Amino acid sequence: DIVMTQSPDSLAVSLGERATINCKSSQSVLYSSSNENYLAWYQQKPGQPPKLLIYWASTRESGVPDRFSGSGSGTDFTLTISSLQAEDVAVYYCQQYYGTPYTFGQGTKLEIK
């Protein structure tokens, strides 16, 4: 199984400041033939299902604000929120879909400082 490890487990950031969440996979999720990273980021607010934010490591899902961006390749990835808004308080998960079993990170809880 590909193990996904996020850091930090929790994060407190002031409104308007940058938030950065990291995700590391135990093996590469870069598919060489397509040069795509099979990595997604989700946002989950209390009592709600996860919401897809980013896929292919850096492609924003339709309707997702451009303050959310994803970067990285191979085994190391980052989700960045450029200017934190109050509505961004949530738990964020990375997920690899390179191969089964599809695995998620343990989650990073983002709060307002």
User: Which among 12-20, 64-72, 78-86, 98-106 is the span making contact with other proteins, rule CB under 8 A?
Assistant: 98-106
d(CA 74, CA 76): 6
Exposed, middle or buried, 109 (CB in 10 Å: 0-12/13-18/19+)? Answer: middle
* 45: its two tokens: 């607010």
d(CA 13, CA 67): 15
User: Which among 12-20, 63-71, 72-80, 105-113 is the span making contact with other proteins, rule CB under 8 A?
Assistant: 105-113
Does position 107 interact with other proteins (CB under 8 A)? The reply is yes
43, 58, 75, 95: which one binds other proteins (CB under 8 A): 95
* 52: its two tokens: 């897809």
Footprint on residues 22-81 left by other proteins (CB under 8 A): 38, 40, 42, 48-52, 55-56, 61
- To the nearest whole angstrom, how small is the minimum distance from the Cβ of residue 17 to other proteins? 26
